[in-house]
Structure formats: C-alpha cells, structure tokens
Amino acid sequence: MRKYFAELVGTALLVFFICGAMVVRDLPNVYEGIGFIGVALAGGLVMSAMYYSLVNLSGAHLNPAVTLAMLIDNRLEAKDLLPYFLAQFVGGFIGVGILYLIIGDHDSVGLVAGGFGCNGYGEASFAGLEATWAFVVEIMLSFCFVLTFLKISLDSRLQGASGIAIGLALAGVMIVGMPLTGASVNPARSLAPACFKGGMALTQVWVFVLAPLIGGALAALCHLVMGDSVSEDDDL
C-alpha cells in the first residue's frame, strides 16, 4: 500500500500547486508578474521535488498517462494499474479540495474562462482553440512529457539529474500549452477542478482526460520502438 499512498500524496501536492499557481496568477492585484512562465515553473519545480521524494516508493508517476505508459512499456504490473489510477484521481480531488477550502469559488480566477485552474477550449481558451485542435495539442504535450519521463527514468547516466529533467519537461510543455488549453497533460490534474467548478469546465473535461492518455500510450509505443524497454521484473 505504500506505493499507492505515495501516488495519492504526490498527486495531491502536484495538483494543489499547479491549480493554486493558476488561481494566484489571476487574483486581482496579487503577484501580477507571475504569468504563464511562473505557473509553469511552479508545476515543474513541484514535479521535480515529488519525483526525488517518491521515486523509490512508487516511481513518482503522479499522472495516469505516465502510469498507462509504464504498463505498456512493461514497467508496471497490470494489477497495479487501477490502484495507481484510483490513488492519483483521489489525490487530485484532495489537492483541489484543499485549494477550494482556502480560496472558495472565484469566477474570475484561472487561466481559462472555466476558472479555478480548469482546462478548456473554445470560449474557455485564451487562443480560442476548438475541441479538435485542443485534443491534438493535449496529445502532443502529453506525448512529449511522457516520452521524456520514460527515457529519463531509465537513463542511469543522469543519476541525480533525472528529477530536474522531468520537471523541466513539464514546465516546458506547460509554457506552450497554457495559452492554448490550460495545459492538462494529466487527467488527474484536470478532472478534479472541473468537477469542483462544474458547468463548461465539466462538459469539456473529456478532452483533458482522454487526450493525455492517448498521448501517453503513443509515447510508450514510440519508446518500445526506440528500444531501452525493460522487463516486468523491473517495474516502477
């Protein structure tokens, strides 16, 4: 149970700080200079911290897209898939729930029209991206992040630098993705704020649950073609 609990705690913290940074970014007269880059750095730094803290317990996936990719890449046992998913989604709800208790529901906050750190397309996107292109964007962002995670976590040459590289990868895709969709890359990070916010955010959340999973699966298939996959004996 330790690895499932680690995934729950790590995902809760990651979601709290990413959504919290997005909320703070748009609060009136508060940290007006944080911008997209500030939010991306918050996400990347917390991802790095959680990776170093939890990698020896659970692999520090903190993301159903990463967990699905690990299964496809033969680095996670099938029996662990649903418990990992459950821990991550519950962690996401805990993180957003704590944020909700702290700031309440403010319609004006969040990087997209849905507010509260939600993802969105159409009216809920700064770029006005339609659903099809939002779907494509999220697949590409997730593919990049998950492929990086898969390659970096196997590379013994990086040793202690792997967490930094993974955090930078998340920050990089967030910088590009936030003006377009709010940069999900993680179904657990998207579902919880959408459920708390409701309305448009909840009707659009399917894109930000399904597309990252597809991107993660494609990244795993690409990684298998590239080589360097490991056996089931080396799960996590």
pLDDT at position 116: 78
pLDDT at position 12: 98
With 0-12 / 13-18 / 19 or more C-beta atoms within 10 angstroms meaning exposed / middle / buried, residue 179 is middle
CA 163 to chain centre: 15
Q: What is the pTM of this model?
A: 0.90
Mean pLDDT of each 10-residue bin along the chain, 236 residues long: 96 95 71 75 96 94 97 95 98 94 62 69 88 96 96 76 93 94 95 91 95 98 79 48
Domains of the chain: 2-230 (1.20.1080.10)
Residue by residue, DSSP assigns the chain as -HHHHHHHHHHHHHHHHHHHHHHHHHSTTSSTT-HHHHHHHHHHHHHHHHHHHHHHHH----SHHHHHHHHHTT-S-GGGHHHHHHHHHHHHHHHHHHHHHHH---TT-SSSTT-TT----GGGSTT---HHHHHHHHHHHHHHHHHHHHHHHH-TTTGGGHHHHHHHHHHHHHHHHHHHH-----HHHHHHHHHHH-THHHHHHHHHHHHHHHHHHHHHHHHHHHS----GGG--
pLDDT at position 160: 78
With 0-12 / 13-18 / 19 or more C-beta atoms within 10 angstroms meaning exposed / middle / buried, residue 128 is exposed
pLDDT at position 125: 86
CA 213 to chain centre: 11
pLDDT at position 231: 44
